[in-house]
Structure 1
Amino acid sequence: MRNRPAYAVEAVDHALQLATLLRQEGSLRVTDAAAALGVSRSTAHRLLVTLVYRDFAEQAPDRSYRPGPFLVADPGQQPTARLRAAALPYLNQVAAQTGESCNLQVRVGARTNVVAYVEGPEAFNVGDRFTREWDARLTSAGRILLAELGEDELGLLYPDDELGAAERRALRLELERSKARGFAINDQLTERGVVAVAVLVRTPQGAPLAGLALAMPKQRFEDSKLPTWVGALTAASALLTRDLDRA
């Protein structure tokens, strides 16, 4: 399990998170940056100006900020500020209901990005995951999103020279299992000692949008609690989709 170090320098941590957001989203305004980090507009502005000075960001003519020479925006990533703002109340709700950390991930190609995160109230909990990226095959959110793909689409993401026949069959079986039961599990595949459970979040039109995940230390994972966890996640997912339709 990788938790936030006790000696972390907050300003450095915020600057690195902003750099990751710029690469993921392609553009940020000061208000978006402030909301994402939970800091004041003046603090967000100082951080962005510093990134510009060090060539990690550039200011566009409309006064937004975009990736600088040291960063490359991912062309497949869609802006997530609106999704993050809509999702955070429900992440807080699930974390309060379950006691565990909750996060929202979107898929970009074969990877998932954590675009929103709320730490659970338990004393010993999974640390901050905001802006983290993983192989979609390994995360619970990534698996529930990949389960929506057809065989051809999955083959484009994971070609034959990357996955052997046996590994591809195992992945397909796991994705089918996840889709059938309505949730996916990651048992220590991304981090030792961490288990995660995720359900799908759809757009108001019904398309796959994100994965809503609950992460916890392995010692607190119990099969008997899965119905409660999945129920809380599923209810939050439905409310998030409803709110996106109203926005």
Structure 2
Amino acid sequence: MMSLARGLVVIRAFSAERPNMTVSQISQKTGIPRAAVRRCLYTLDKMGFVASVDGGAFNLRPRVLLLGHGYFASSSLSQAAGPILNRLSGPLDESSSVSVLDGDEILYIARAQTKRLMAMHLDVGSRLPAIYTSMGRVLIASLPYHEQEQYMARAKYIQYTPHSLTDATALAQELEQIRAQGFAVIDQELEAGVRSIALPIMGRDGRPMSAMSVGVHAQRMSIDDMKEKILPALQEAATELTILSKTL
């Protein structure tokens, strides 16, 4: 099924930063020969998943959302999290989310968005680098040590902001602190002006199943205030989802 695998890789090559890509650009990003990329794009175009634009580039079409619709429509965890997030975000007037660990990224599976908009638009299906998010870190910190080491070994350290951690030693210390205290806080490491706090949702097998977080603007709330005002409500919501998830 090499053709199927290549087609999926081609689809994943598109991103918010590169919504339009040529055959050569996709080939360079994926490592797939240009002739094979061209064949994939031809088939995807016929199926309505991509379309050609000016200059010989291609972009994704709305039909590609069908590939993920089945998962979200059938995901019991996603459906269960929605009402809990709404009850959490309402009184706080802050956005909240639930995500799962997918490779080296987190995948948002449920979200309650308030009217307070942040620069980074996030919705169900959004992906972010796990080590630079509170949900990603709390999930990694909850894994067995040998799995944590695998993440550390392949982590890509990027200076997104002046606050971003950029070395393995600092990340290891941070994960150890998260493991000890049971929650993670990110202070403007991925996006300037944004702080978030997260808790793990543990499964029946004792492994982290997902994570729940609340994000705030740094100017509105300090880290101490987050721990005092948001953490108790987040703990209550996470406990509710943990109990509910074990009945799904």
TM-score category of the 2 structures, normalised to the smaller one: 0.5 to 0.7
Q: Deviations over 1:45-102 (max 9, x none)?
A: xxxxx9983136xxxxxxxxxxxxx89x89xx99972111011111001101211000
For 1:184-223, list aligned pairs within 5 A: 184-222=184-222, 223=224
CA distance in 2 between partners of 1:233 and 1:108 (Å): 23
Structure 1 portions without partners, runs of 5+: 1-18, 21-49, 57-69
Which one has a bigger Cα radius of gyration? 2
For the pair 1:142 / 2:150, whether they are aligned, the reply is: no
| TM-score, normalised via structure 2 length | 0.63
CA spacing shift, 1:153–1:236, aligned 2, 3 Å: same
Any idea what SS the aligned residue of 2:139 has? helix
CA distance in 2 between partners of 1:192 and 1:129 (Å): 19
Match of 1:37 in 2: none
Match of 2:179 in 1: 179
CA distance in 2 between partners of 1:219 and 1:159 (Å): 34
For 1:83-232, list aligned pairs within 5 A: 83-120=77-114, 123-126=115-118, 127-159=121-153, 167-222=167-222, 223-232=224-233
CA distance in 1 between partners of 2:109 and 2:155 (Å): 30
Any idea what SS the aligned residue of 1:220 has? coil
Any idea what SS the aligned residue of 2:131 has? coil
CA distance in 2 between partners of 1:93 and 1:82 (Å): 18
Do the aligned residues in 2 keep the contact of 1:140 with 1:185 (CA within 8 Å)? Answer: yes
Q: Deviations over 1:220-245 (max 9, x none)?
A: 12213413311111111111121122
Indicate the structure whose relative CO is greater, using CA pairs within 8 Å and at least 6 residues apart: 1
What RMSD over aligned residues (CA atoms) do the two structures have, in Å? 3.2
Instruction: Count residues in correspondence.
Output: 180
Do the aligned residues in 2 keep the contact of 1:185 with 1:198 (CA within 8 Å)? Answer: yes
CA distance in 1 between partners of 2:193 and 2:247 (Å): 39
CA distance in 2 between partners of 1:195 and 1:145 (Å): 17
Any idea what SS the aligned residue of 2:142 has? coil
CA spacing shift, 1:79–1:112, aligned 2, 3 Å: farther
Structure 2 portions without partners, runs of 5+: 1-10, 13-43, 51-63, 158-165
Match of 1:235 in 2: 236
* Aligned partner letter, 1:85: Q
CA spacing shift, 1:197–1:97, aligned 2, 3 Å: same
CA spacing shift, 1:159–1:225, aligned 2, 3 Å: closer
Q: Deviations over 1:133-175 (max 9, x none)?
A: 1111100000100102334222322327957xx8221111101
Greater helix share, structure number: 2
Q: Moved runs in structure 1, 4+ residues, more than 4 A? A: 77-80, 160-163
Match of 1:43 in 2: none
For 1:26-41, list aligned pairs within 5 A: none
* Aligned partner letter, 1:246: T
* Aligned partner letter, 1:150: P
Any idea what SS the aligned residue of 2:117 has? coil
Do the aligned residues in 2 keep the contact of 1:199 with 1:213 (CA within 8 Å)? Answer: yes
* Aligned partner letter, 1:86: A
Do the aligned residues in 1 keep the contact of 2:131 with 2:155 (CA within 8 Å)? Answer: no
- Identical amino acids, percent of aligned pairs: 26
CA spacing shift, 1:188–1:108, aligned 2, 3 Å: same
CA spacing shift, 1:145–1:79, aligned 2, 3 Å: farther
Match of 2:75 in 1: 81
Any idea what SS the aligned residue of 1:219 has? coil
Do the aligned residues in 1 keep the contact of 2:130 with 2:136 (CA within 8 Å)? Answer: yes
